């Protein structure tokens, strides 16, 4: 039995008159990879951002360990344990190395040690040859790898990935899958919102679908037919 | 590159600000509000440095019209006033805004105008008659229009002549004496000026001539007044008194007497006359 | 009246020969305006960030207020400050009238709305993802703010340069609250006003040249920044 890291209850979010999300329960378990699919505009990004502490829901309770907190209170704990990655990750206007060091520098790590850690991370993601390039000049796949490495280095318990493989060529897609898989094997819980089920289903432990503002469980991933190739409406 | 711009800006500016002469000195600065004529003529540049050297008081000269200077004295924004509007000065003292008024020097006002002299006032000894002719001829007359000592005197002269100046020939500039002289030059106009400023500017004014002088009504006397320490106890009264002492001393009066531009004396000592 | 060429030649020789009084005036100008910018920039950028980042009632009104303040003439600021700082005004006891501090204050008031207005539009143009990325990677609010500012730094530099350009070229306020005291509060613009009134055009032109060169340098750096800004987008 896995211990929930965060247990969200009664998450609602409306835009004007439209109820976008009305979710009774959303559990983030340690070390588990969860795939969230859904149509464009179903609210996957909004859900992920609420869970990541970036978008304020209209209502939500979050259980962290034994305490039941409001979303605003839980946010601080979420910030410490979860890193959210944009569909098109934002690269700070500086080198790849400094982008990756960003989160560590916040923790006042000693300089020498910091750059050793960064160098290790760069090797891990096979980005060492790009270390001194400006991160803005990278390709979409490379940016995604930088973003994943930048997140991994702060060692979060959870990664929330928003459409990590859209607009990518096959080669980049595969290397992104490999990184995600590697991260999961390191024990990180992973939430992925995606259209792209083909590459992700083998990695995911759970698959849930966002329909009409509700989450619906989809049959266990390993049972799914490999033939379902759904790559609709990228972006 | 991006940092280079910022850094060089900072460095240059720091260097410049470091080279600023220190504003602090041994003594508290004396704020001298004075008329533009004493400052623009260059007299104060002769008069003040020896004083600053001997006493250690830096003097901050704020050159404004006499009206503004008196107002600054009343508001406590100056420590000592060097002005030229005798009646207003007396009023200022009797209203207890100022103390220890002393005569410092005098010169005279003159009426200047274009060498063509369309109003035919050249050589007149009567200032009022001259103003009358200018008004009759409707030729441009540039007035200071700034409530300065010169402006006060000019309005007084018009009153004495029984004229209310107005109309397109009468231009109220609202500027200092030097600027008004330039305007008279450009407009081929007449104006009333103190002799000191006229002499100081004459080299650049090729169209203008001194036309009327010598009327008793054109006598221009400069007085110095300390702002009353009773009204503003933290005013630099000590410094003000030292400056008054200096300007009326033999040494100060000699500097005034010996101050010339192109060989002409601008101001005549008057201390001891009262 | 001396011709423009004569005056200009005299002006150049004044500049080149390192005329002490002239350079004192120039250094006062730079010293005062630099201080003003230095003190105004942090609170102004904080204000701009607050206006760009937080939703609160009256935010729009505040933004348009700052845009309106851009148009306030320097002499009006000067007059207001004069009345406040005058010995008989409410802050007379500070004895700041006719000091460099008064000039710095006046220029701070003048530069604040420019920095807020331009800083605000720069910060507002920042990608929402910058703040989100900083936040999710664990940045505390202040650090996240600096990250956002760093990402739009060229726009912010441009704001600072524009503000500096305005206050170093401003005459009304400095004249009024500084008093144009030689070697103390006489800066480039008040000196030009004075020298012109005295008919001493050479020094006026020399100082004008300094301002022109400065304007050129500032505009060049502004256009360089704009270029970088365009590349950044």
pLDDT tens digits, one per residue of A57-76: 999 999 998 899 999 999 99
Percent of chain B past pLDDT 70, that is, above it, reads 89
- Whether pLDDT at A219 is above 70: no
pLDDT of residue B70: 94
- pLDDT value at residue A72: 93
Mean pLDDT score, B86-112: 95
Name the A residues in 201-230 with CB < 8 Å from any C CB. Answer: none
- Strand stretches in B115-188, DSSP E: 141-143, 170-172
Cβ contact, residue pair B205, C1, below 8 Å: yes
* Domain assignment of residue B19, yes or no: no
- Determine the distance in angstroms separating the CA of C148 from the nearest CA of chain A, rounded to an integer: 9
**Tens-digit pLDDT profile for residues A15-31:** 888 889 999 999 999 98
CATH of residue B46: 3.40.190.10
Assess whether pLDDT exceeds 60 at residue B25: no
* pLDDT band at B19; cut points 50, 70, 90: very low
B24 touches chain C (CB under 8 A): no
Q: Mean pLDDT throughout B159-172?
A: 92
* 3-state SS assignment for residue B164: coil
DSSP H or E segment with residue A217: strand A214-218
The pLDDT of A174-198, averaged and rounded, is: 87
Higher pLDDT, A218 or C102: C102
Query: Are B126 and B209 members of one domain?
Result: yes
As a whole-number percent, the residues of chain B with pLDDT over 90 amount to 69
The two tokens of residue C208 are 């004008």
Q: Is residue B42, in this structure, part of any structural domain at all?
A: yes
Quote the domain boundaries for residue B197. Answer: 109-218
What pLDDT, on a 0 to 100 scale, did the predictor assign at position C233? 53
* Res. A2 pLDDT band, cuts 50 70 90: low
List C-alpha distances in Å: A18 to A12, A39, A216, C89, C192.
11, 16, 20, 59, 65
- Is the minimum CB–CB distance between C130 and chain A shorter than 8 Å? yes
Q: What is the pLDDT of residue A233?
A: 39
**Same domain for B132 and B210?**
yes
By CA distance, what is A161's nearest residue in C?
C136
C139 touches chain A (CB under 8 A): yes
Length, in residues, of chain C: 233
What distance in Å separates residue C186's CA from the closest CA in chain B?
A: 10
Length of chain A (residues): 235
The angle at the Cα of A93, spanning A168 to A53, to the nearest 5 degrees, equals: 70
pLDDT of residue C57: 94
> Is chain B touching chain C, with at least 3 CB–CB pairs below 8 Å?
yes
pTM for the structure as a whole: 0.82
* Mean pLDDT, rounded, of chain A: 86
Q: Residue B234: what pLDDT?
A: 87
Q: Do B52 and B151 fall into the same domain?
A: no
CB-based touch B/A (3+ pairs, under 8 A): no
Exposure string of B73-110, with b = 16+ CB inside 10 Å and e = fewer, is bbbbbbbbbbbbbbebbeebbeeebbbbbbbbbbbbbb
Query: Is B6 domain-assigned?
Result: no
The pLDDT value recorded for residue B272 is 67
Give the pLDDT confidence of B195-240 residue by residue, as tens digits.
988 998 898 888 999 999 999 999 999 999 999 999 988 899 999 9
At B12 the pLDDT is: 47
Substitution target from A78, A102, A157, A162 for chain C, most C beta carbons within 10 A: A102
> For residue B78, is it within any domain?
yes
Q: From the list C136, C147, C232, which residue is nearest A84 (CB)?
A: C136
CA atoms within 13 A on the CB side of B72: 30
- In a structure prediction context, what are the per-residue pLDDT tens digits for chain C, which is 233 residues long? 457 788 888 888 888 888 888 889 999 999 999 999 999 999 999 999 999 999 899 999 999 999 999 999 999 999 999 999 998 889 988 889 999 999 999 999 999 999 999 999 999 999 999 999 999 999 999 999 999 999 999 999 999 999 999 999 999 999 999 989 888 999 999 999 888 877 778 888 889 999 999 989 988 988 888 787 776 65
pLDDT band for position A225 (cuts 50, 70, 90): very low
Contact C133 A86 (CB under 8 A): yes
Burial class (CB in 10 A: 0-12, 13-18, 19+), B25: exposed
Q: What pLDDT sits at residue A132?
A: 93
Same domain (yes/no): B138, B174: yes
| pLDDT(B83) > 90 | yes
Distance CA B148, CA B125 (A): 24
Nearest to C216 by CA among C170, C169, C152: C169
Interface test with C, best of B34, B52, B60 (most C CBs within 10 A): B60
B9-17: average pLDDT: 47
- Measured CA to CA, the distance from residue A159 to residue A81 in angstroms comes to 9
Name the residue facing C27 among B5, B17, B182 (closest C-beta): B17
pLDDT of residue A78: 93
Give A94-117 pLDDT, tens digit per residue.
999 999 999 988 877 788 888 899
Q: Of all helices (H) and strands (E), which one includes residue A228?
A: none
C5 contacts C12 by C-beta, under 8 angstroms: no
User: CA-to-CA distance for A206 and A133, rounded, in angstroms?
Assistant: 37
pLDDT of residue B18: 44
Nearest CA in chain A to C133: A90
Structure tokens at A197: 């089920």
Gap from C143 CA to chain B (nearest CA, Å): 21
User: Are B60 and C184 an interchain contact pair (Cβ–Cβ within 8 Å)?
Assistant: yes
B21 at the C interface (CB within 8 A)?
A: yes
CATH architecture of the domain covering C28-199: Orthogonal Bundle (1.10)
A53 touches chain C (CB under 8 A): yes
- Residue B211 forms part of a structural domain: yes
Dist CA C20 CA B108 (whole Å): 34
Chain A residues with beta carbon closer than 8 angstroms to that of C144: none
Residue B147: half-sphere exposure toward Cβ, Cα within 13 Å? 6
Specify if B195 maps to a domain.
yes
Residue B17 domain-assigned? Answer: no
For residues B156 and C6, which has the higher predicted lDDT (pLDDT)?
Answer: B156
Residue A85, φ and ψ in degrees, nearest 5: -115, 125
B113 with B103, same domain?
no
Is residue B125 over pLDDT 80? yes
pLDDT tier for residue A224 given thresholds of 50, 70 and 90: very low
Tell me what ipTM this predicted complex has: 0.88
B60 and C2 within 8 Å at the Cβ level: the answer is: no
Residues B122 and B213 in one domain: yes
Q: What is the mean pLDDT of residues A140-156?
A: 92
pLDDT at res. B37: 85
| Beta-bridge mates of residue A134 | A95
B144 exposure class (CB count in 10 Å sphere: 0-12, 13-18, 19+): buried
Q: Give the pair of three-digit tokens for residue B99.
A: 């103390």
Is the alpha carbon torsion for B229, B233, B236, B238 positive or negative?
Answer: positive
| A109-130 per-residue burial string, b: 16 or more CB within 10 A, e: under 16 | beeeebbeebeebbebbebeeb
* Residue among B6, B13, B31 whose CB faces C157 most closely: B6
Is the domain of B129 the same as that of B207?
yes
Q: Return the pLDDT at C8.
A: 84
Asked if B148 and B204 sit in the same domain, the reply is yes
Phi, psi of B268 (to 5 degrees): -115, 135
What's the average model confidence in pLDDT over B80-99? Answer: 95
| Number of helical H runs and strand E runs in chain B | 11, 12
H runs (alpha helix) in chain C: 4-16, 20-53, 59-69, 74-85, 100-124, 128-136, 141-151, 153-168, 172-178, 188-198, 201-232
Residues B129 and B165 grouped into a single domain: yes
Instruction: Give residue C36's pLDDT.
Output: 97
Please determine, for residue A231, whether its predicted confidence score (pLDDT) is greater than 50: no
At residue B23, the pLDDT reads: 43
Most A CBs within 10 A among C133, C134, C153, hence the mutation to make, goes to C133
Note whether B218 and B109 are within 8 A (CB). yes
* Nearest C-alpha neighbor of B119 from the set B106, B101, B100, B138: B138
Tally of domains in chain B? 2
How far are the Cα atoms of A9, A61, B120, B158, C113 from residue A24, in angstroms, in the given order? 5, 10, 103, 93, 48
Tokens of B204: 């650049």
**Chain B residues touching residue C1 (CB < 8 angstroms):** 182, 185, 204-206
Residue B53 domain-assigned (yes or no): yes
Residues 6+ away with beta carbon under 8 Å from B165? B135, B141, B143, B158
A207 contacts A33 by C-beta, under 8 angstroms: no
The answer to whether residue B179 neighbours chain C at the CB level (below 8 Å) is: yes
Q: What is the mean pLDDT of residues B34-56?
A: 92
Rounded to the nearest integer, the mean pLDDT of chain B is: 88
Q: Is B33 exposed, middle or buried (0-12, 13-18, 19+ CB in 10 A)?
A: buried
Q: Regarding beta strands A18-29 and A4-15, do their DSSP bridges make them parallel or antiparallel, or are they unpaired?
A: antiparallel
């Amino acid at each position: 039995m896995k211990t929930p890291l965060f247990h969200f209850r009664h998450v609602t979010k409306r835009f004007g008159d439209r109820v976008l999300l009305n979710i009774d329960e959303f559990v983030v378990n340690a070390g588990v990879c969860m795939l969230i699919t859904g149509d464009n505009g179903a609210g996957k990004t909004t859900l992920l951002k609420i869970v990541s502490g970036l978008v304020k829901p209209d209502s939500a309770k979050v259980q962290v360990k034994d305490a039941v907190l409001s979303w605003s209170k839980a946010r601080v704990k979420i910030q410490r344990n979860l890193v959210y990655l944009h569909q098109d990750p934002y690269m700070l206007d500086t080198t790849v190395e400094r982008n990756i060091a960003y989160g560590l520098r916040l923790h006042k790590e000693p300089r020498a040690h910091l750059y050793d850690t960064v160098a290790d991370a760069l090797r891990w993601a096979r980005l060492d040859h790009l270390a001194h390039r400006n991160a803005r000049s990278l390709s979409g796949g490379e940016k995604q790898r930088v973003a994943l490495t930048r997140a991994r280095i702060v060692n979060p318990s959870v990664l929330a990935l928003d459409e990590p493989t859209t607009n990518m060529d096959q080669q980049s897609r595969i290397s992104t899958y490999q990184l995600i898989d590697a991260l999961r094997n390191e024990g990180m819980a992973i939430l992925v919102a995606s259209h792209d089920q083909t590459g992700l289903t083998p990695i995911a432990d759970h698959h849930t679908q966002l329909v009409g503002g509700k989450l619906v469980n989809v049959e266990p991933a390993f049972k799914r037919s490999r033939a379902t190739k759904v790559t609709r409406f990228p972006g | 590159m991006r940092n280079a711009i910022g850094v060089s800006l900072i460095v240059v500016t720091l260097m410049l600000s470091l080279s600023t002469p220190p504003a602090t000195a041994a003594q508290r600065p004396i704020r001298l509000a004075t008329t533009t004529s004493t400052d623009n003529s260059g007299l104060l540049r002769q008069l003040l440095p020896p004083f600053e050297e001997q006493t250690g008081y830096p003097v901050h000269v704020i050159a404004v019209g006499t009206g503004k200077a008196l107002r600054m004295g009343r508001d406590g924004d100056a420590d000592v006033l060097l002005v030229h509007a005798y009646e207003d000065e007396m009023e200022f003292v009797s209203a207890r805004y100022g103390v220890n008024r002393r005569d410092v020097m005098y010169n005279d006002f003159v009426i200047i105008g274009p060498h063509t002299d369309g109003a035919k006032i050249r050589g007149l000894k009567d200032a009022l008659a001259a103003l009358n002719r200018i008004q009759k001829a409707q030729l441009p007359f540039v007035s200071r229009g700034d409530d300065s000592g010169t402006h006060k005197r000019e309005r007084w002269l018009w009153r004495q002549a029984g004229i209310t100046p107005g109309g397109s020939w009468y231009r109220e500039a609202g500027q200092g004496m030097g600027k008004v002289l330039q305007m008279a030059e450009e407009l081929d106009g007449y104006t009333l000026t103190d002799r000191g400023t006229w002499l100081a500017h004459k080299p650049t004014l090729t169209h203008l001539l001194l036309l009327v002088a010598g009327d008793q009504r054109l006598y221009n006397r400069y007085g110095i007044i300390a702002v009353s320490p009773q009204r503003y106890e933290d005013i630099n009264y000590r410094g003000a008194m030292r400056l008054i002492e200096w300007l009326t001393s033999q040494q100060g009066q000699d500097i005034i007497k010996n101050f010339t531009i192109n060989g002409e004396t601008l101001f005549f000592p008057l201390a001891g006359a009262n | 009246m001396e011709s423009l060429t004569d005056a200009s030649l005299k002006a150049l020789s004044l500049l080149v020969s390192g005329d002490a009084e002239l350079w004192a005036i120039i250094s006062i100008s730079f010293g005062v305006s630099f201080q003003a910018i230095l003190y105004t920039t942090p609170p102004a950028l904080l204000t701009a960030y607050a206006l760009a980042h937080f939703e609160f009632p009256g935010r729009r009104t505040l933004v348009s207020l700052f845009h309106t303040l851009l148009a306030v003439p320097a002499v009006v600021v000067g007059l207001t400050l004069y009345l406040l700082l005058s010995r008989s005004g409410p802050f007379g006891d500070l004895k700041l009238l006719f000091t460099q501090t008064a000039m710095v204050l006046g220029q701070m008031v003048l530069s604040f709305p420019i920095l807020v207005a331009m800083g605000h539009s720069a910060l507002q143009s920042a990608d929402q993802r910058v703040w989100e990325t900083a936040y999710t990677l664990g940045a505390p609010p202040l650090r996240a703010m600096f990250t956002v500012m760093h990402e739009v730094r060229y726009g912010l530099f441009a704001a600072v340069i524009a503000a500096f350009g305005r206050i170093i070229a401003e005459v009304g306020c400095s004249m009024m609250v500084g008093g144009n005291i030689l070697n103390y509060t006489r800066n480039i613009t008040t000196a030009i006003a004075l020298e012109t009134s005295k008919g001493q055009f050479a020094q006026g032109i020399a100082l004008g040249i300094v301002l022109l060169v400065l304007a050129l340098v500032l505009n060049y750096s502004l256009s360089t920044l704009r270029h970088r800004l365009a590349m950044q987008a």
